[in-house]
Chains A and B, each alone.
Chain A
Amino acid sequence: MEEFNHHMMTLARDSRGLTQADLAAKLGIMQGTLSKYETGFHQPPTDFVADVSEALNYPMAFFYEMGRPYGLPPFHYRRRKKLSSKALARIVAEMNIRRLHLEKLLISFDWKTNAFIPEIEENEYRGRSNAAFTIEGAARSVREMWMLPSGPIANMVELLESNGGIVIPCDFGTDLIDAMSQRIEGLPVLFFVNVNSPSDRLRHTLAHELGHMVLHTITVKSDEEMEDEADAFAGAFLLPADEIRTQLRRFDLRQLANLKLYWKVSMGALAVRADRLKLITPYQSKMFWIEMGKLGYRKREPNEPPKEHPSLLRQMIGFHMKKLGYSLTEMAKLLHLKATEFQEMYRAEVVGEPAGGSGRPSLRVIK
């Protein structure tokens, strides 16, 4: 067997939301012993790996997987401040595991596209008539580059997947985080999105993450500045100023609800856009949020647009199972998962099966 990969152990532990002390207690060993194995200070015996494998519910092969899951370009994520660092570590671990899965799936799945998600470097950027860099200009450039017509973006997920990205729906188990994105050499740009997000929020979230990928791959700034820029980018990308300016002349809930139907963007995002474009006064903005709060729309807005379903991940799984003849157990083995976990991670809702599904029953393990 190959060498034990201590990075995978950290990944497995984080993915289960356990601290070193938790796992040591679960295994009935000293934390120091565990620490030495996990930091690569000592090679653990096979018995220990078997115990960890059982405690963390991963097959033993998982811990012998090559590569280094951490230390890659950082994830950008859109989250609420309330999300604890432990929960975040669990989610980041899951994203890394999913990325490793993708690397495996992409070995056989032939996915090539000439389109790509550009990276804009502020100092080298030249806008229309050599104009200086602005977020509005950057968003417009991306729309132009992808030859998007004016008006709303019909399907944000499809747009990203047809331009060199891959959208991976994940069950983060919390609504405190909306999405994460990562650009790694040799892989499509990865957008991990929370399946629990309302669809209007999801569209904005994806545009926000696109903003990070366009603006913050080369230029890295403070977290707050990057988040603000990504948010401004999302607004400018989904709601171009030339068009939205006239439509926001009337600013009330009714008009925002109509605009939401048209642009498929939440009323909240429309109000933020109106604020950024200085189409409303700070007082109007404040009153709007008070009214939204009173009506309970800050948690969930009415008239959610239809959900957008990614298709690439579903195609990859389908290609392996239908074309290449992988069974469910073989798929799980390929991805170093237990079969039940494979089913859970790639269930219809997660891989983006549209409502009603394909008409076939979902796969399940027969014992």
Chain B
Amino acid sequence: MPHRSMDETLDAVGEAILDELAEIVKAGHARYMTYRPEDLIELDVRAQSACTYCHMHAEADRRLIGRDDIRPLEVRGGLKLWLFESANVVSRLKKMDEDGKTRNYPTKQARDYDAQKELPDLPLPPVRLTAGYWLDATGQVINRVQIARPNGRRVPTWCATVVPNEERKVGERIWVDVTRERRFGSI
């Protein structure tokens, strides 16, 4: 398993890609919110996540396919990933909570992905990340776009948020560490 810090990993990915991922995530949610209100009423949390997931991937396909250095991957079992070759990072798109934790019942592939284990179509080296969104209590507004590094345990190793355009400052990184401080060193 490659050992790289948050700074090293995200700097390697680069601000342009992080920005792109944030736009993809926001577009997925925005598309879901264009559904007619009478349809939204009938969709539960799981349906919302599933629809948003599909819209995020459709947007990612539109933006990223054909780009140098970026390769779409589909691991057996349907796990869709994006490989950023020069950064040696692979990312999936997902709904998450404020800690960057995904909350559904993961498939074996997803568990192995989170644990940074080898997968059939994915050799070991790339760092596995999750790019996703954390919604507010109403499920209608994105609180944060986040990039997390899962580790197969309850809480990811680290979690960063991509700073919204209007809050960015010149000379500062476009991401901020939002990893929750842990007591007694436990994860």
Question: Do B37 and A291 touch across chains, with their CB atoms under 8 A apart?
Answer: no
A290 within 8 A of B: no
Specify which chain A residues have a CB less than 8 angstroms from the CB of B138 in the assembled complex.
253-254, 256-257, 267, 302-303
**A157–B140 Cα gap in the complex (Å)?**
27
Select which of B41, B44, B45, B139 is within 8 A of A247 by beta carbon: B41
A255 within 8 A of B: yes
In angstroms, how far is the closest chain B Cβ from the Cβ of A267? 8
In angstroms, how far is the closest chain B Cβ from the Cβ of A203? 15
Interface size range on A against B:
10 to 19
B40 within 8 A of A: yes
Select which of A151, A247, A291, A302 is within 8 A of B140 by beta carbon: A302
A261 within 8 A of B: yes
Select which of B37, B38, B137 is within 8 A of A295 by beta carbon: B137
Question: Do A258 and B137 touch across chains, with their CB atoms under 8 A apart?
Answer: no
Q: A250-B44, A254-B45 are in contact. Are A262 and B140 (CB under 8 A)?
A: no
The chain A residue sitting closest to B139, CB to CB, is: A254
Q: A250-B44, A254-B45, A302-B136 are in contact. Are A262 and B38 (CB under 8 A)?
A: yes
Specify which chain A residues have a CB less than 8 angstroms from the CB of B38 in the assembled complex.
151, 262
Question: Do A255 and B136 touch across chains, with their CB atoms under 8 A apart?
Answer: no
The 0/1 profile, CB within 8 Å of B marked 1, for residues 168-205 of chain A is 00000000000000000000000000000000000000
Specify which chain A residues have a CB less than 8 angstroms from the CB of B45 in the assembled complex.
254
Specify which chain B residues have a CB less than 8 angstroms from the CB of A291 in the assembled complex.
137
**A182–B83 Cα gap in the complex (Å)?**
67
Specify which chain A residues have a CB less than 8 angstroms from the CB of B37 in the assembled complex.
258, 261-262
Specify which chain A residues have a CB less than 8 angstroms from the CB of B40 in the assembled complex.
258, 261-262
Within 8 A of A (CB), among B1-51: 37-38, 40-41, 43-45
**A161–B37 Cα gap in the complex (Å)?**
26
The 0/1 profile, CB within 8 Å of B marked 1, for residues 275-308 of chain A is 0000000000000000100010000001100000
**A97–B171 Cα gap in the complex (Å)?**
58
**A291–B136 Cα gap in the complex (Å)?**
12
B141 within 8 A of A: yes
The chain B residue sitting closest to A295, CB to CB, is: B137
Specify which chain B residues have a CB less than 8 angstroms from the CB of A49 in the assembled complex.
none
In angstroms, how far is the closest chain A Cβ from the Cβ of B46? 12
The 0/1 profile, CB within 8 Å of A marked 1, for residues 42-67 of chain B is 01110000000000000000000000
Question: Do B41 and A262 touch across chains, with their CB atoms under 8 A apart?
Answer: yes
**A257–B136 Cα gap in the complex (Å)?**
11
Within 8 A of A (CB), among B126-174: 136-141
A259 within 8 A of B: yes
Question: Do A254 and B137 touch across chains, with their CB atoms under 8 A apart?
Answer: yes
Question: Do A257 and B139 touch across chains, with their CB atoms under 8 A apart?
Answer: yes
A residues adjacent to B (C-beta < 8 A): 151, 247, 250, 253-259, 261-262, 267, 291, 295, 302-303
Contacts A255-B41, A257-B140, A258-B37 supplied; 16 other A-B pairs, CB < 8 Å: A151-B38, A247-B41, A250-B44, A254-B45, A254-B137, A254-B139, A257-B138, A257-B139, A261-B140, A262-B38, A262-B40, A262-B41, A295-B137, A302-B141, A303-B138, A303-B141
